Structure 1
Amino acid sequence: MGPPSPGTGGWYLNPASGQPTWRPAAPAPVPTRRRSTKLVAAVVVGSVVGLAVLAFAATTIVGLVAGDDAEKEPVAAPAPVATAAVTPSPTPLRNARLTQYDYERGKCYFWPFVNDPTPDVDEVPCSEPHLFESVADEPIDLSADFSTIAPYPSVSDWWAISARLCQQTVEAYLGHSIDPHGRIKIEPIIPVLEGWVLGEREMTCGVRVSSSHPRDPVSYVSTGSAKDLDQSRVWEPGVCLNAEGIPLLCEYEHVYVAVGDVVLPGVPGSAPPSDEQQGELIETSCAERAREFFGPSFQELELENLGVMWYPITRDGWEFGNRTISCLIGYVNADGTPRVTTGDPRRGRPA
């Protein structure tokens, strides 16, 4: 698969096939000249799973990818790819101890991330790192839908069950709808297979807030209550992310690094800007954030195929009040597909 001509469109990761797919760019006004840029778009769909907890997310990313040294007229970002249905993660680790705890509405909980057969569940202040925030005092009884001889649901089945039965309770707890592309994720605690065979049919609904901090990739902890935050997907400068948008330490394999935030103008009730308009507002600001992060020599870094990217705010997200975008530096191959790297991006050429 050879690289496309600059300015003709962008690559996106097809969630159905898992393969990079080329899509022509949509016609739009040409923005201000920028050095060495061509456009790229990607779709990544992912979820985080911890023990018996499922979390689901769908994300879209667009951006500008640095090319050769010759100046070219960039084109506007391609029209957004239709977001596919959220794909659940591989089968999660499950633990019977989690289903035996009495969770309370508005309380947050933490347990060891190690594969402990009997982890202790601790109630902690939501201002401290935690793995689960309960949205109800009582679990949901699934026995009306699943008899004692019903087969154990697959991961995709559990995703559908939690979306159908938890979303209303979660949104009542939050006081607003969930942005499907935002930081708040429905996260149920489900029976393990052994408990299911013995007739356990209860599911506890909760939420998790995607962390803005670098974490060990097996922890997935949150800090702060989901009731008190902007749902925008943002990360602190210097945080590295994998292809699913999960923040982790840069020593682990990653494809993006956050370099700073941009707040879009817009009063409550205002019409959301299109992706093209967002690009016009964000492009210069994200380049400035990148220069602040890497230093004045950002444009002269010997990093081929380095891109300034961002997750656009969706129409629903705009209506939910999201106004903040994190600028990301992404690593890509010559054909525009994501490239995995390791190490601190500020210390020369990545591995």
Structure 2
Amino acid sequence: MSANAQWFRSRNRTLSTRLVMAGGFVGALLVLTLSMVFSWPVKVTASAGDQAAENLKAAFAAPPGSCLNWAPDGSDMRQTPCETPHLFEVTGDVDIAAEYNASAPSPTDEAWREIAKKRCTDGAAAYLGGKLDPFGKYSVGALKPSNEQWRDGDRKFRCGLQRAAPSGKALVPTKNSAKNQNQSDVYDAGTCLALVDKNVGDPIECTKAHAYEIVGVIDLGETFKDGGFPLEEQQQTAMLDQCPKLAADYSGGLNLADKKLTLTWDTRKQESWDAGSKLAVCKVGAPLPDNSGLAPVTGSIKSAAAAVPPTPTTPGG
């Protein structure tokens, strides 16, 4: 990431493998943090004809390549066509019965994370054709057996791919199979990301206070067509050359300085480049005068309505 874009960086995007665990509970699911471990819903024992129960049974048995979705409260987990919005794409099943016999207690949350890291990451990379961008939009996830399932002897957990929001506290729905997607961690132009404690949060309406607004996406692969990894300085030059035009086209020529806004951008790390992630975003935000983070911006620059609250002054200042 570029130095001038450093103040846009999410504090939750530092894990090298970006392994997260998520899942659904029948009735309710509060995704407090993706570093927590979540279970599948309890084993379905509802009577035949219960559509939610049938959906859950199908999801539980979904083979690799299947996509799963569930409601915001965690209910109604079901298998869905990957062409439709979904939260989880199954990459494989792992059985740990050889390590945990029928009387063994369920692993701790930390142990589950380590197990999934060891047993899911390589499989996810293979599922994607051998390349998994450690800084890309897809995270390796896992759904572990519920306590009831564990007591009944179920020792399988499902590995999968999902997209975590910048805050690390929610999942972002994706469309189409991850196998066919560019892994660059970018959002479309027009997306605004919330401001949380002077840092980057999750996608939000641009009419609400936000950290920055995406104004364009650049394919650095088109700029550096020889395929070799461009140095940071080269990427900076390319983004500096292209982002101002995209911002001007997007905003209708708005003078950002008049609005106390700053244009910045991302660059790509070599690990991402080698995995084929060559897209980078141009974005607009407002760094605080002391460079301690970001100021809230309300309104889209596309409508020239973006505004930054005035900087507070000290008494007598």
TM range (shorter): 0.7 to 0.9
Indicate the structure with greater strand content.
1
Structure 1 residue 244, shift from structure 2 partner: 5.2
Residue in 1 aligned with 2:137? 183
Corresponding residue SS for 1:333: coil
Q: Runs of 5+ in structure 1 lacking a partner? A: 1-9, 13-24, 26-38, 54-87
Q: What does the per-residue CA deviation read over 1:141-161, in whole Å, with 9 as the maximum and x for residues that have no partner?
A: 12333454445422x443332
Q: 1:227 and 1:40 mapped to 2: Cα distance?
A: 29
Q: 1:164 and 1:307 mapped to 2: Cα distance?
A: 42
Read off the aligned partner of 1:348 and give its amino acid letter.
A
Residue in 1 aligned with 2:213? 257
Contact 2:38 2:143 in 1 (8 A): no
Contact 2:214 2:283 in 1 (8 A): yes
1:236 to 188, 202, 224: 188
Corresponding residue SS for 1:96: coil
Contact 2:128 2:178 in 1 (8 A): yes
Q: 2:253 and 2:200 mapped to 1: Cα distance?
A: 30
Q: What does the per-residue CA deviation read over 1:58-109, in whole Å, with 9 as the maximum and x for residues that have no partner?
A: xxxxxxxxxxxxxxxxxxxxxxxxxxxxxx7453554524697111121212
Residue in 2 aligned with 1:41? 6
Q: Runs of 5+ in structure 2 lacking a partner? A: 26-32, 43-55, 310-317
Root-mean-square deviation (Å): 3.3
- 1:301/1:295 Cα in 2 relative to 1: closer, same or farther (>3 Å)? farther
Structure 1 residue 342, shift from structure 2 partner: 5.8
- 1:162/1:331 Cα in 2 relative to 1: closer, same or farther (>3 Å)? farther
Aligned length: 269
Q: 2:5 and 2:224 mapped to 1: Cα distance?
A: 26
- 1:316/1:199 Cα in 2 relative to 1: closer, same or farther (>3 Å)? same
TM-score, normalised to structure 1, is 0.66
Does 2:124 align with 1:167? no
Q: Percent identity?
A: 24
Structure 1 residue 175, shift from structure 2 partner: 0.9
Residue in 2 aligned with 1:334? 289
Residue in 2 aligned with 1:274? 231
Contact 2:193 2:204 in 1 (8 A): yes
Residue in 2 aligned with 1:113? 72
Contact 1:52 1:192 in 2 (8 A): no
TM-score, normalised to structure 2, is 0.72
Structure 1 residue 294, shift from structure 2 partner: 2.3
1:321 to 267, 270, 276: 276
Corresponding residue SS for 2:299: coil
- 1:266/1:177 Cα in 2 relative to 1: closer, same or farther (>3 Å)? same
